Amino acid sequence: METIKLILDQDPSLEIKNRFGGTAISAAMHFFTQSPGPGADYAAVMDLLLTAGSEFVWAKKETGNVEMDTILRKPGVIE
């Protein structure tokens, strides 16, 4: 988490696409839903990215994870 905070403190462009066509927030959501790493706090990462102004373009529906869905409700990504 500290590394992500340090990067976000540098005010990076959050919409730069990776080689797969995704952004930082779409990559975080992909790994959360498809290949979660042990001990990774994806909800906290999503919260940081959304707070920093990242645009959420993933499916705007509940994930089934209470913590993640709570984070996604804050900016109105899901209802």
Q: Of 3-12, 43-52, 60-69, give the lowest mean pLDDT range.
A: 60-69
Query: In sequence order, which ranges of the chain are alpha helices (DSSP H)?
Result: 2-9, 24-34, 42-51, 66-73
- Please state, in angstroms and rounded to a whole number, the distance separating the CA atoms of residues 39 and 12: 25
pLDDT digits 0-9 by tens, 21-42: 999 999 999 999 898 889 899 9
If you ran DSSP here, which 8-state letter would residue 41 be given?
-
pLDDT attached to residue 12: 93
Q: How does residue 67 score in pLDDT terms, banded at 50, 70 and 90?
A: very high
CA 79 to chain centre: 17
Whole-number CA gyration radius for the chain: 12
Share of the chain above pLDDT 90, in %: 57
Terminal-residue alpha carbon distance, the chain: 27
